[in-house]
Structure 1
């Protein structure tokens, strides 16, 4: 076990082989049959055979297993004889006298008849022996004879197997597995097999796993579903999807938990540090040593190049004459140590094979081959800078490695590939023999690109190391520290540390006001941590002065950079003056950097709009901001915009497929707290609206709700509201009050009441249901005072809802009706259809209490609205409320029949079943009786053609 992850020696389930297993099981169950299983070393033939044997044994059929060995003993027919030794008891009466020919070979089978006398002709004796094996298999009844690794079989065994396959014994199935690359012409028995009429035949060529299969296998080995797509892609690239190579590589990881969650560049580095599995290395080296010298040289050249290459390039690096090199390449291809990866380009099947060959090279030979590679590649147009840097490094040319690596980083940055640029700069900074000027230059470049990219943990490590590097100039330490703070602010659990680093950086940047101003703009952002708004305002005022000064001086770039932070910060606080500043902001960019800042401005303002209630404007700004960010290469801005888009879609009722999108984005941006926390909030709210309480609680916890100092405040305040609402739905009013109190404490500490819209109505409801009506009225008064001057439409709509809740609790129904109607209208104008429907539901209850029976029909209408959104729990609550009024449910005459399709209620039940809910829990979520749920469950299982709810969870 490492860091909580248990690394299994093999997968507990078979991954990616369902179709192949079905084909083998079906054929083996219909004897006589011949099954051929082909696949390269490590592809999983033995595992598949084991699954087949297990199923055959469960079916009550006998299984005989023989395995050929690479070192052949002088014992013909040995593998078949070895398999027959496992035959066990055979009724003597069923045995033909002919089977006595096997008695000398199988003394374990004491029931065999006495051996017949020799025929005096070796060929006749051999034929009689073959017939005896045939007869014994026929007597054994339903039997599966498995012979593995036939590519190592002796000639006698091949002849015997050909004999048996030509006329399979009745009731017998024969399975032969082999490596196609290890047998001449791909014929495991030396000649083509032609099925006999009346017998079944199936050929299965086992292919490596695809990326998804590698991801599933890794998760099964580690007992976790948190395997990143980037890690799976790199592992697939390294292993070519060979299950054995995947298993061995995963076992060798020093930190499996951290590795499987790493991004692309980090995953590559972690996997490159893993040694080639011993068994795979030995297989590759065995093939290599069997090659002629020239073929080994061409293979070694391919290993040094480490990517597919043309024959001319391989010939030049290997130092061979063209004619000799051609024959050498053909031999390497025949032995399948090299493959044609594309037209006229040759390389290895997977990185592990390349590494195994590379590791056989002596140091001086490796260096010389890398020098040749540099000489051959440096004059190409365009120059392959990354490859040249790597070849220089491995040739011992540190100056060349730095020159080409830095040029490659510059090129990647210009092309917008910031992840590559960051990785190249980090590699260059780790190089030996760097001068102070080299360190300064590379550090500034890394600092410049890091904030726009997505790389996180590795960049933080490099920046921390730079700050303790004596070669870094003191004048640059402030800039590097500022970048470190900006990176830490994106990382879970590091917001407080980020603030400290930024404050230290500002103090050190007295002679560089532009950089210091960037730090001030970050400290002004009110959504970070639990710092009171008064402290943020101090920084906001300073930055506003700097914006004015930059604008007056015509410094458009600096003004736009600061506006991108400060305008959004002001809007978050409900400061209407920010709209005037936004109107003065540039609408076009003159440089790529200005475009990045303009993209930040649009996306940051969109985020503020989504929190304070300008939802339509948020959508427009997101579209323009995302387009600007994508065009200029600002992946971090794109990531934050995508999470804001998910939040805005939640608010505006566009829920179709929203949970899938959110989960995919969390996977993609899992190291960026600003993104993952907002997405987790949305997933929690969606789950709560569907009655999936446990799942909702997990998502709310992932917002860092219990760490307000290291969280994004509006997200956490909304999460407190979500948890409290969920507790109220479960009739846990006391717990809901406690949860609301924690959220209110943070809100009051922070002082940004524009964010109160997701918490205050729930808090007021909790107080009223928990018998604290006066506290609810006091909270309402506080809310009214705090937001009276704020430009925050969402908060004002929530205030109207709070007025309705408090009035309804105190029996002031006319006031409650007016307030809820006002709240509904305000929510609709935002638009916020889910909140509007909830306000309309409260309005209907008040109208009923006030003596308006016509309000009952509103519940059925609202149930349809909630259903349209996907709010299962709310829809069920409205239907329950309608039934509770005693109104007559409209006749079903004229309604559509669902036949074998699931009805809407059955779909709700099916989803809850698949999530593991019991019938009692489903009844509570959907406001149904236990008996009704039982009927729905039976109907769901019947329509989906599954026998149990466990199968439903698997097929979901």
Structure 2
């Protein structure tokens, strides 16, 4: 990085340098760091960065540093520019080491930096973008293995969206690399809706990110800066005061004023910023000023050859450039044959000083020169540069086709936000271009990107889909918006497209727009996706087979699969697969078959057929080169197997899916839900340590919002097992904050977690309300694996709180609702049958009518699953029933088995319940393993009773009066009376008798359980 400051000394910024140096040290120890440096234009961000990089390099061979700047043109379609520049510079310094680190990744990284060679030719979709991000992260991880790498990005306020998203990805994922990411940005450019604002806010939440705000200099620092610039130990105090006042402490303005003073030009300066910025430019000769005006329109960086082509007289150009460089207005770029303005503010001021016609003429000259000699700029930046030159030349006929070319180039690099920006520019220009020009200047677009094969229904005069139309630009913009994540914009564009489409003449095209609206509404969790999908179906229903028709039908069936499927949806999926097969849309065919497998399992109660259908679709997809469809199938199959109790098979499939996601750069995309499926299957098997590590790793990676609620809920379940209810409550809150938890398949397990936490906190009415909120609504088919555990928990809680007046009044109705919901479910596997029998046993216990036979019936089925839960819970209840029936040895045997399974599961609450029951019954179980979790607080504490109130309640349950209680506890009768009143209030009962009955019913004390019979 070239020093550009006028001042030869570095002034101030001691705390900031310390912060950056500490970040370098922490990164060197293996903890990657990110430092964001903000401040107004000219406050010294670049100077601070220069000093830090110099100090970092001075530490020796253990540090490699590189820097890239965001060009102002980046906001208009030039993606990844700072990363590409930084990598080029790194290549110059590391040479073969960078090539070794990139080995095997070149095809993907070529989209970021063409110097890596030819790209891999993979699909330009959102998954291709994810692969690019993943492989970029791997490159930096490899480079940071043997050294500390400093990657600096300047002028982040000008960064394109793709650059911001790639940087955010690196910040979140480089959790083991020795890397320091530093970025600078202008705070005065961040208006209320600037896209950098939410980006910075999101990054600041991460532990490894620090944000520094540079303040203006005070008088002392301005004096030190002036001393360095003027070469004097003690500058004149009046000069210091004057320059500090006029510059307001902005170091760049101090430099400008000091240089003007040194050159004898201080008199006559105005207070306006524009005059301060232009004063040194205006002091140059006219020819040099002309060169600077032209260079200012060339962009943040302009190549020498391009300038020479625009100006034609290279000898005069060189002289003018030499003058501008000598005046510290321009500086040669050390990485190429070109120039940059020493400060972007100067370039802005020079550009703003141009007359409108002058600006248009200069941009036309740049565009013409670049069209005639394309080699003058790099191939990676040429399309966007040319599009911007023609746009600012105010030549719509040339700006429109070049904007489309730039959009194509951005799409090839998976820079979908920049593609969208260029497409929107084309839409803006469309009406300004005549039909004749459109017909002769716009080359055909790549229809396969927007319309699948067989769906193009252009009219004959459009030369078999050869001529691009406005509707096609809109369609491509819809795709770009969807892939870039700007689904709100995508909805708006699709709506505009539908206004231009006559559904009668072009039903396929209209259906395509409707289908995309349905997808985006679904992602946004907004109403209307069903209606849009249904409308699209009506449009293609009676048309000849096409890929769009197949995809519309498959989408409709898929939406229904996640909500409330019917037999009609099975037929839709079957028809979608048949049509896709007929027209050769193989990926859509397998996508439809995957939906079909799930529907057949859910609706036909035929899990084996569903598994076979899914497995065949997965096998057929392996050779299609569509990793997103393949991973969807693996994920669905793993989820289905786990829900049926076949957890070992689910673990193997989920691991395969994660490996495939990793290999295709999708680990932080679809890998999130695969991680959840793997963790849930591991937890089912009792492999708690593996699941804990997996969930901890995924949390460090900070996955995207989609399906994050799944992982949060699993973390909450795991915290409950450990007895950490505070963490579990936090995870529940996060899961419920997600927009996806409203889907039934996600919502039911989250409700179950909420019930557990409410019950453990002594809020049984709240737990019941959670249950009723689910069972009193519509219960879609195919959710046995989540509904049976919920119903069992609800019935068990009703049994546990029998005798509590607050709940007793409505208990019969609640139990009837649970029984009705259970009767409406169809067990499809031994695990489901075991849960169903557990529900029946808990319902009987809630009415005081359970027998050992109820629990043995459930245990007999559950043993065949090989899973520790819910068998451990059933054996606890069976042991209790056996003891109460007088069969103490049988009870002890059940409790020993339950205790072993609870230990495998890592369930502290269940272990405590088993031990408490054995203690009350006087049963000797095996000694508690040293690693077993500690026993939680006594059950009475769930009502908020203090230890003294528990003592009083124990005596009250034995029928003691207040005076007797006082005598036994050595307290006054009045104090005993106060304790009794508090206890009645906390238990929610009306009198002493109800309190005693409740204590007996909840078995709060050892005296309540009689060892030798009922």
TM-score by length of 2: 0.54
| Of 798, 807, 817, the match for 1:767 | 798
- Determine whether 1:669 maps to 2:704: yes
What is the DSSP-based 3-state SS (H/G/I as helix, E as strand, rest coil) of the residue aligned with 1:366? Answer: helix
| Of 685, 695, 708, the match for 2:730 | 695
Q: How far does residue 727 in structure 1 lie from its aligned partner after superposition?
A: 1.1
Distance 1:805 1:242, change over 3 A: same
Contact 2:387 2:399 (8 Å CA) reproduced: yes
Q: How far does residue 695 in structure 1 lie from its aligned partner after superposition?
A: 1.6
Determine the C-alpha separation between the residues in 1 that align with 2:349 and 2:865.
64
Within-5 A mapping of 1:322-361: 325=318, 328=321, 331-332=324-325, 335=328, 340=333, 342=335, 346-347=339-340, 358-361=351-354
Determine the C-alpha separation between the residues in 2 that align with 1:401 and 1:20.
44
1:842-867 per-position Cα deviation (integer Å, ceiling 9, x unaligned)? 66766776634577777886776565
Determine the C-alpha separation between the residues in 2 that align with 1:366 and 1:873.
75
- Determine whether 1:748 maps to 2:748: no
Distance 1:230 1:22, change over 3 A: closer
Contact 1:373 1:391 (8 Å CA) reproduced: yes
Distance 1:312 1:210, change over 3 A: closer
Within-5 A mapping of 1:15-26: 19=19
Contact 1:754 1:792 (8 Å CA) reproduced: no
What's 2:763 paired with?
732
Q: How far does residue 740 in structure 1 lie from its aligned partner after superposition?
A: 0.5
1:555-581 per-position Cα deviation (integer Å, ceiling 9, x unaligned)? 645532422433334445554232343
| Of 541, 547, 569, the match for 1:539 | 569
Determine the C-alpha separation between the residues in 2 that align with 1:838 and 1:283.
76
What is the DSSP-based 3-state SS (H/G/I as helix, E as strand, rest coil) of the residue aligned with 1:656? Answer: helix
What's 1:42 paired with?
43
Q: How far does residue 518 in structure 1 lie from its aligned partner after superposition?
A: 2.4
Distance 1:548 1:749, change over 3 A: closer
What's 1:799 paired with?
836
Determine the C-alpha separation between the residues in 1 that align with 2:19 and 2:419.
43
1:898-953 per-position Cα deviation (integer Å, ceiling 9, x unaligned)? xxxxx998xx99xxxxxxxxx999x98999999xxxxxxxxxxxxxxxxxxxxxxx
Distance 1:504 1:680, change over 3 A: farther
What's 1:818 paired with?
856
Contact 2:363 2:393 (8 Å CA) reproduced: yes
Provide structure 1 residue ranges, at least 5 long, that are not aligned to the other structure. 1-13, 24-37, 48-207, 216-225, 234-238, 264-276, 897-902, 910-918, 931-956
| Of 543, 558, 562, the match for 2:592 | 562
Within-5 A mapping of 1:553-952: 556-573=586-603, 574-576=605-607, 577-582=609-614, 584-585=616-617, 587-588=619-620, 596-611=628-643, 613-622=645-654, 639-653=669-683, 654-656=690-692, 669-670=704-705, 672=706, 675-686=707-718, 688=720, 690-692=724-726, 694-704=729-739, 711-748=742-779, 752-771=783-802, 782=820, 785-788=823-826, 790-791=827-828, 795-803=832-840, 805-806=842-843, 809=846, 810=848, 812=850, 814-815=852-853, 817-818=855-856, 821-822=859-860, 825=863, 828-829=866-867, 851=888, 852-853=891-892, 865=904
What's 2:193 paired with?
253
What is the DSSP-based 3-state SS (H/G/I as helix, E as strand, rest coil) of the residue aligned with 1:525? Answer: helix
TM-score by length of 1: 0.57
Query: How many residues in Structure 1 have an aligned counterpart in Structure 2?
Result: 672
What is the DSSP-based 3-state SS (H/G/I as helix, E as strand, rest coil) of the residue aligned with 1:746? Answer: coil
Q: Which has the higher contact order (CA 8 A, sep 6+)?
A: 2
Within-5 A mapping of 1:254-273: none
Within-5 A mapping of 1:147-546: 229=168, 241-242=183-184, 245-246=186-187, 248-250=188-190, 252-253=192-193, 286-287=276-277, 289-291=279-281, 292=284, 303-306=296-299, 308-313=301-306, 316=309, 321=314, 325=318, 328=321, 331-332=324-325, 335=328, 340=333, 342=335, 346-347=339-340, 358-378=351-371, 379-380=374-375, 382=379, 384-413=382-411, 418=416, 420-433=418-431, 437-446=468-477, 454-469=485-500, 474-475=506-507, 476-492=509-525, 494=526, 496-510=527-541, 511=543, 513-514=545-546, 515-525=548-558, 532-534=564-566, 537-546=567-576
Q: How far does residue 714 in structure 1 lie from its aligned partner after superposition?
A: 0.7
What is the DSSP-based 3-state SS (H/G/I as helix, E as strand, rest coil) of the residue aligned with 2:762? Answer: coil
Contact 2:729 2:757 (8 Å CA) reproduced: no
Provide structure 2 residue ranges, at least 5 long, that are not aligned to the other structure. 1-13, 24-38, 49-149, 158-164, 173-180, 204-246, 254-271, 439-467, 684-689, 803-807, 949-1014
Determine the C-alpha separation between the residues in 2 that align with 1:747 and 1:15.
61
1:679-720 per-position Cα deviation (integer Å, ceiling 9, x unaligned)? 454455455553125424422422458xx9xx3221112222
Q: How far does residue 488 in structure 1 lie from its aligned partner after superposition?
A: 0.9
Q: How far does residue 539 in structure 1 lie from its aligned partner after superposition?
A: 2.5
What is the DSSP-based 3-state SS (H/G/I as helix, E as strand, rest coil) of the residue aligned with 1:458? Answer: helix
Contact 1:848 1:855 (8 Å CA) reproduced: no
Distance 1:298 1:754, change over 3 A: farther
Q: How far does residue 602 in structure 1 lie from its aligned partner after superposition?
A: 3.4
Distance 1:454 1:836, change over 3 A: farther
Distance 1:547 1:370, change over 3 A: same
Contact 2:830 2:861 (8 Å CA) reproduced: no
Within-5 A mapping of 1:64-103: none
